[in-house]
Structure 1
Amino acid sequence: MVNTNGLRIARDKEFVAKLAELKPGFEVYLQFDSLRPDVHQQLRGADLTRIRQQALENLEEFGISTTLVAVIKKGLNDDEVGDIVKHALTWSCVRGVTFQPIQDAGRNDGFEPDRDRIVLSDIRRSIIEADNPFTERDVIPLPCNPESITIGYALRQGKDIAPVTSFLPREMLVDEVPNTVSFEKFPELRKRLFEFFSLESDPTNSSERLEALLCCLPEVPTPGNLEYSNIFRVVVSEFLDPHNFCISRVKRSCVHFVTLDGKIIPFDTYNLFYRDAAARARRMNSLSMLGAR
């Protein structure tokens, strides 16, 4: 997997051809915050509209599985959630969209929490209310970290999608605690669900995992010859910052950095305490405060 702003992919076809040699167990996560130039200018400091278009054209030409990754800022591009999903479906190489509520970390000059923050539930609601087949039953908490990640899967044929997450038995969803999932009554489905709704899924096993999951749901006919290109997903992944930091969520984090010295650090704490000099200073200050207690 490569996370990228798409600059080299847009400008260097030979490089894209080299990436294509890594298929099928390879995917590009392409920064794609907006369809509007002014949003790129504010979030990235430049109008990257043409770069994103050319990058997608090259990825499409070489058939490289791609996920669009959109940072969403309140009042700036939160009205584009549905449009980004629609745009993703116009590209056969795109396997889904990951939305990330803006995080107060890194390059984020002038960030005002009361004005700019948007949360996971806001983006989930925007997906549900947009002109697409996903409903509130189709976009559910990720079992390993339900407070930070919500996810919906669909079968895809061209530009058309049919969500499958809603076929999970309603008894599995605990109404009293709607961001928690209970699987005790469905052991086989529990096993299949945890296997499939895992961030470890990749292009070499996702179709098999989905087919295994569908086999547990009698209401859903299992398509023959299911391929990764027949899968489309929407994800909302909310990372932590000083305004919503939570130790229990850090412990359940599904996304990590592996450092050169072999340490595995949760994404949230890496950005806050390790990424740059300012982050390291925050870490030392936090440690000194703990030592003073």
Structure 2
Amino acid sequence: MIPATRPVDREPDTASVCPVCLRRLDAWRVVRGDTVFLVKRCPEHGDFTAPVWRGQPDFSAWKRPKRPSAPRRAFTAVDRGCPFDCGLCPEHGQHTCTALIEVTARCDLGCPVCFASSGPGNATADPPLSRIAFLLDRVGQASGRCNLQISGGEPALRSDLPAIGEMAKARGFPFVQLNTNGLRLAADADFARSLAGGGFDSVFLQFDAVTDEAYRALRGRPLFDLKKRAVAAAVRAGLGVVLVPTVIPGINDGELGDIVRLALSFGPGVRGVHIQPAAAFGRHPWPGRDDRRLTLPEVMAALVRQSQGLLRLEDFHPPGCEHSLCSFSAVYQRTPSGGLTPAPKAGGCCDAAPAADPILAEEGARRAKAFTAKHWAAPGPDAAPAAPVDDFDRFLAKAATGGRFTLSGMAFMDAWTLDLERVRGCCIHEVSPEGLLIPFCLYNLSASDGRTLYRPQPGGHGRAGA
């Protein structure tokens, strides 16, 4: 394949950063055959080219236009410009759909692909409950009652997780999800029940493969049986489960169809599969290597190819909340025979066909929060919601969501693929230790030498190039 070059006859399409020094650069999206490259030039470190879209659906047709709306409350002012003023600043164009709060930097695995570089050797003290309460309050001030994901490190290493869930629910957060590797769920029979009784609705479970060979490569040890036990424990406790594969070509990209079929075999307690192609940040062994990248069309094509007729390419559609180029999703209804059929349109964020007019970003976030809370929590009897309600809430109350199954994927951006147009449309925000809300990809962004822009590092802070 001939690499793309920087156009000299047109204005830049967006802005990005240099993977070496993280300075802001003009950037272009350049089409070569069925591949779209992000191209940029640093005056000090030269040209950089990375693929961001390979294959079908067609890049030009993958759109879901939105009208930006400012954050409810901005904690930082515009000074140097994106990406250096984040917190969120007043120029951010999307409200928070999901806020991630990291409650520990410790982990009982040392995964080679960890975006947070967590592991057993991390001695950083866990934030006390009083600090987590402060962070929850900051999210409420900035974004209102969005969905929450409690993350790490491995948050299951904390003994007070139920108290964290209870604090979140006491503040009115409607959907609280645990991001976990599942080791404690598999080993501790009471742990899942304590989560369900402590305010947690769902488990976002690291689940990369159906073979131990892939786990050895991605996680450093065989884990397949343990992962299945973790799923069973969470489902028994009444928690919704979403399986989350981190995918790298040549390691586990050939197991996506098997993961979907296994997810269906667990029954309606497994609410879906959310696929995350690995990005080059955190503890990554392959900075800038294009043969280690998977773009969204390649993931969709692999799912269809491996599904044995279960899925179709036309099932997938752009998101209604975050930027169109960030993700895909499809919503299915389980059939009595164990198959899937596309679910009826919901009139909301996850319809296959976008509305005729661009949706207001705030409304897209509202619908996405409601959809996620309804579809990723454990299945239960459909009940009428408490007043007040609107047409979308009424639809969700009537829809038989217990038999739904969601299939989605998200392409995180690293220093090679960072597109600041996409960043300004981000709805998934990490909460920094200081209580600032920062788009996920910016918070985890790292230069080629491992320096970070926002994520604190042992012995100091990020802010490389700031």
> What TM-score does the superposition give when structure 1 sets the normalisation length?
0.77
CA distance in 1, matches of 2:444, 2:208: 20
Per-residue CA deviations over 1:10-64 (Å, capped at 9, x if unaligned) read: 11111111112246x6100000011111111111111111220111121232232
Aligned to 1:103: 279
Q: Helix, strand or coil for the counterpart of 1:201?
A: helix
CA distance in 2, matches of 1:95, 1:65: 6
Q: 1:11 aligns with which of 181, 187, 194?
A: 187
The Cα of 1:115 is off from its aligned counterpart by: 2.0
Q: Helix, strand or coil for the counterpart of 1:19?
A: helix
Change (3 A) 1:134 1:183: farther
Per-residue CA deviations over 1:220-266 (Å, capped at 9, x if unaligned) read: xx996724x31110111010101211111111112111123220011
Per-residue CA deviations over 1:60-88 (Å, capped at 9, x if unaligned) read: 32232000000110111111111111111
The structure, 1 or 2, with the larger RCO (C-alpha pairs under 8 Å, 6+ apart) is: 2
Change (3 A) 1:195 1:14: same
- For the pair 1:71 / 2:246, whether they are aligned, the reply is yes
CA distance in 2, matches of 1:204, 1:243: 33
Q: 2:319 aligns with which of 142, 152, 157?
A: 142
- For the pair 1:152 / 2:327, whether they are aligned, the reply is no
- For the pair 1:183 / 2:347, whether they are aligned, the reply is no
Alignment of 1:1-293 (within 5 A): 1-22=177-198, 26-92=201-267, 93-110=269-286, 113-129=289-305, 130-144=307-321, 145-157=323-335, 159-164=338-343, 181-184=354-357, 196-198=367-369, 201-203=372-374, 226-227=400-401, 229-272=402-445, 273-277=453-457, 283-284=463-464, 286-287=465-466
The Cα of 1:124 is off from its aligned counterpart by: 1.1
Contact residue 27 and residue 64 of structure 1 kept, 8 A: yes
Contact residue 138 and residue 165 of structure 1 kept, 8 A: no
RMSD of aligned residue pairs (Cα, Å): 3.6
Contact residue 319 and residue 328 of structure 2 kept, 8 A: yes
CA distance in 2, matches of 1:111, 1:74: 14
Q: Helix, strand or coil for the counterpart of 2:301?
A: helix
The Cα of 1:109 is off from its aligned counterpart by: 2.2
Letter in 2 for 1:8: R
Aligned to 1:291: none
The Cα of 1:116 is off from its aligned counterpart by: 1.0
**245-254 or 55-64: bigger deviation:** 55-64
Contact residue 310 and residue 340 of structure 2 kept, 8 A: yes
Change (3 A) 1:84 1:204: closer
State which structure, 1 or 2, has the greater radius of gyration over its C-alpha atoms. Answer: 2
Contact residue 173 and residue 182 of structure 1 kept, 8 A: no
Contact residue 7 and residue 51 of structure 1 kept, 8 A: yes
The Cα of 1:202 is off from its aligned counterpart by: 0.7
The Cα of 1:157 is off from its aligned counterpart by: 4.5
CA distance in 2, matches of 1:195, 1:135: 28
**120-129 or 35-44: bigger deviation:** 120-129
Q: Helix, strand or coil for the counterpart of 2:304?
A: helix
CA distance in 2, matches of 1:19, 1:6: 13
Q: Which segments of 5 or more consecutive residues in structure 1 lack a partner in the other structure?
A: 175-180, 217-221, 288-293
Q: Which segments of 5 or more consecutive residues in structure 2 lack a partner in the other structure?
A: 1-176, 386-390, 446-452
The Cα of 1:160 is off from its aligned counterpart by: 2.9
> What TM-score does the superposition give when structure 2 sets the normalisation length?
0.50
Letter in 2 for 1:7: L
Identity of aligned residues (%): 26
The Cα of 1:283 is off from its aligned counterpart by: 3.2
Per-residue CA deviations over 1:107-165 (Å, capped at 9, x if unaligned) read: 22245612211111100112223225332221101023210111101122463322137
Letter in 1 for 2:440: F
Larger fraction in helix: 1
Moved over 4 A (4+): 165-168, 190-200, 204-209, 212-216, 222-225
CA distance in 1, matches of 2:392, 2:372: 13
Letter in 2 for 1:20: A
